[in-house]
Structure formats: structure tokens, C-alpha cells
Chain A
Amino acid sequence: MTIEIRSAPHIKAPRSVPTIMRHVVWSLVPVCAFFVYQYGLSALASLLVVTASCLATERLFVRTGTQAGDIGDFSAVITGLLLALSLPPAFPLWMGAVAGFVAIALGKALTGGIGFNVFNPALVGRAFAQAAFPQAIATYSPSFLPGRFTEFVPSSLAWPLMQPADLMPWLKERQLDALAAATPLAKWKFEGVLAGAEELLTSLSGHMAVGPSPLLILLCGSYLAFRRFLDWRIPAAILGSAGLTAWLLFALSPERFPNPFFMLFSGGLILGAVYMATDMATSPVTPKGMWLYGALIGLLTVIIRYYSGLPEGVMYAILLANAATPLIEKVTQPTPFGKSALARLGQAKRGASYPLHPGYISREEAHAVTPKKRFLRNKPKPEGRRKPEKSS
């Protein structure tokens, strides 16, 4: 007979790392499905190729022992899906595969694998693609093209190591103007055209070149937040700070800056706020730090979008905030129990069931009553409580 000696606690909550990652993947499935419905075959191929490239890279590094974790923990799947969602749907497939490799190799394996990455791997891959393939990444194909489920957009099938062919003749063939192939943000930045609300929110109308649907992402994200697989503070802080900054600038000069609604729901801000900035390993663990981190991302996004030469700023804002995370954590350590200002002064917090000093309840006071209870549910029955004795 053998009994084992283990260290307390002897029971464990059921949640594990693969559980968390699996739930994030499941919540991304509707977003991906709608993405494919919007853009057809090219988007599906892009999702599959980028994810496969991420998984293959992960497997390579896990096998060679350079990286902790394993391929079964689904974290590489998340990286692949997010990277594909943040790229244009008709991004050349070979470029997507390269971006996927870079995302895992430089973004994750280089620093030691799951948990040790400093930057969000998907964004590392996207930053690489932005730098290496500026032409391809700026070319969006319009959504809801007729025949999107039967044929690829020609740029998807570019030969490896070749630049994709120009989309213009292909678009002209379908009686679409050049503007359709630009994102709403690029249109605003370079042409001064502002997209309407319903187009931005649902991405259902017309041949707009918008990314995955923001409403759907918010819905899936709130499921994750509700099940506590992501921290709601980070998206709330990002959207709050971006909205506030944009609103301030809009109030200052409405003719120069777009309205805050356009700011929040165009481009990749929602995807970035809900899925990319909340990457656990690269965001702070302290509650106060999460607010600070989110506020920083929102502010940087608006500044980059308004004042730089780039149409989109979410990616760089998140990467910069990732870099600042260790510092943010250091200055926002939680206050331990008993070391707060209230504790030092010996002050009680509001709403306790009993006051600290029992003066009012002394035997001399005939009409003494216990104060209003904070926990209303199981209020003591009146007959259980006795009247204070009159002794003096």
C-alpha cells in the first residue's frame, strides 16, 4: 500500500492552458466563417495556409527543443487565425506562409515559446509583412463579389517569390472603381471619403473593402470575457481611450478629423482590442496595469492614424504597448491586504455589517439596534435577536 505525499492544495480548478486556447479558437470560428462568406475562396485559402504555416513552424521548434509548450495547446492556431484575419483576404498565399513562419519563429520561438514571448506573435508576423510586402498588404479586394466562391482573386495565386499582378484590370472587368479596393481608413486618409455607420458595423452592404465584421468580433469577444477567457478591462480601456481621444480631436476641429464612431469601428481597432491586445503573455497581469496598457494602445492608435503616413495604427500601438508591459507591471503592483491607506489609518470601508467599535451596542443603551446589514439575503430573524438588557 502506498500513499502519495503532495503539496497543498490537493485539488485543482479544471481550467488549463489548452482549455483557454481552445476556447479562444472556438470563439474565432464565427468570425472566420463570416470572413470567408464575405471574401470567398481566397479568404478561406488564406486562413488555411497561414494557420498551417504557423503550426508547421511551431512543430519544427517544439521538435528541436528550442521552445516550451507543445503543438496540442492550440496557441499557434490562434496566432495563425489572427494573422490571416488581419491580412487582406486576397493576400498572396506564399506571402501569408512567410508571414506565418516569421510570426512563430521571430515572435515566439526566439524568446522561448508559449508564455515567454514579448510581442504578440501574430502582430510580429503582420509587421514583417507590412515591411516586406507593402504593395500587397495595401491592396484590399472588395467584399461580396459575384462568383467569390468559385474563383480566386488573382493576387492570391501569385507564384512564390513573385509580386502579384495588378488588380486594376481584374476589377475593371467587373465594373468596379479603384476605390473599392481600398479600406475605409485608407479612403478617409488619402481621399477624404467617410464610410457610413451601417457599412462599418456589419460589413454587409456594398462592395466595401472592410475586414472582419466588428459587431461579430465584439459578440464573440464578450462571450470570452463572460467566461473569463480574456480580461474585459483591456478592450474597455482601449475603446474608451481611443474614443475619448478621437472625440476630443473631433470636438476641436470637426472638419479635419473624422467622428469618433468612424475611428472606433474602422480598420482593425476592434479586432486588435478584443483579440490581439488581450494576448495573455504580452499584456500586464495587474488590474491597474491593464487599464494603463489599454489606454496607451488607444491613444497611440489615434495618434498614428491621424498624424503618420500610415492609414492603420493599431498594430504598432499594440506592439509598442507590448514593449512597455514589463514597465507598466512594475509600477502598478497591486496593494497587498493590510497595506492600503485605509488599513494604515485603521479606517473601515463603507458598507460593513458591524461598526468597528461596539459603543452603540453597549448594555446601557436600551434602544440600541444592530445596524443595517450588508448581506440582505439571510437576515437574522427578529425573534433570534434579543433586546439589550437594561442593567444600569
Chain B
Amino acid sequence: MVLALGAGSLNIQAGGAYQQPKDFVREAFGGAPPEPSRLWIDAALKAQIRQVLERDLGVLRLRYWGKDHRTAWILDEIGKERPITTGIVVENGTIERITVLVFRESRGFEVRYPFFTDQFRGARLREGLDLDREIDGISGATLSVRALTKLARLALLLHDHSDFAGGR
């Protein structure tokens, strides 16, 4: 499940809520976030999303924040049972940061730590919509690692289709 959290409230109450999405967006733009934009999911993008997630997104559009050649996305993906809410910033077609905002699974919490998420910094999409690098996993957290890797690829793909994609 991937949610356009921007469509609803940006406040989350959950056991493993490490940062509120609105705070992530504010931080991503130095305290002055732009007005949210919306990305419509057309047929071509839908097919690419299916390639990344191995299923449809299930929404018509996604809310995101963009300025210059930089975009911020709040995306969810299920690891094993429950969605992991993630904030991702993309600049000029590369991952600038990926932050686990809410983790609801029983196992695999390690994916929230910088020692893991730092591996995504600078990652780009290569042919086949894969990341241009190998992401080392965490034993016992395979599904959480896989979920975050998918979300990183998805954010890069969405950035490319956004109004702020120039400059790659």
C-alpha cells in the first residue's frame, strides 16, 4: 500500500512514530516548505509504478512538495504486515535523504537507523528502474529492507515525472 498522505492529515499517531510527516517536509525545505503539488498518475506512469512495486498504487494522484529541482515525498509500503511510513527527498534525480517516519512492524526496526538509510544517499535510478547500487540488508529484516528499497525507487521515479524534474 502506498498512500498519498498529503491527501489527508499530516499528523500520525502510532506506536513507532519517530517524526511527523509535516515536520519532515518542513525540515526538508529549511523551515519554509512550498505549497504542495499534485502528480497525476497517467497510464505510462502507472505501468512504471507497477514495475517498481509489483502492484498498482491505487490512487489517482499523489501530493508532494517541490521547489527548484528538489521534491519531497511521504510514502507508505508494507514490510511484512503493516505499512512503513517514509519521507524521501529527491534532488536532481538522486536521493538526498530517506527517513523512516513511522514503523509499525514487529521486526525489522533497524531500517530506521542512519547506518542503514545512509546507504540510499546519492542513489539514482538506472535502466530497469533499479537503484544504481546494492543496498546491504539486515538479517531478520529482509522484508523491511525490501520495502524501503522499493520506496526509494518509487520516489526517484515520481520525481522524474514531477514538475521539478529538470536538472538531471
Do the two chains bind? no
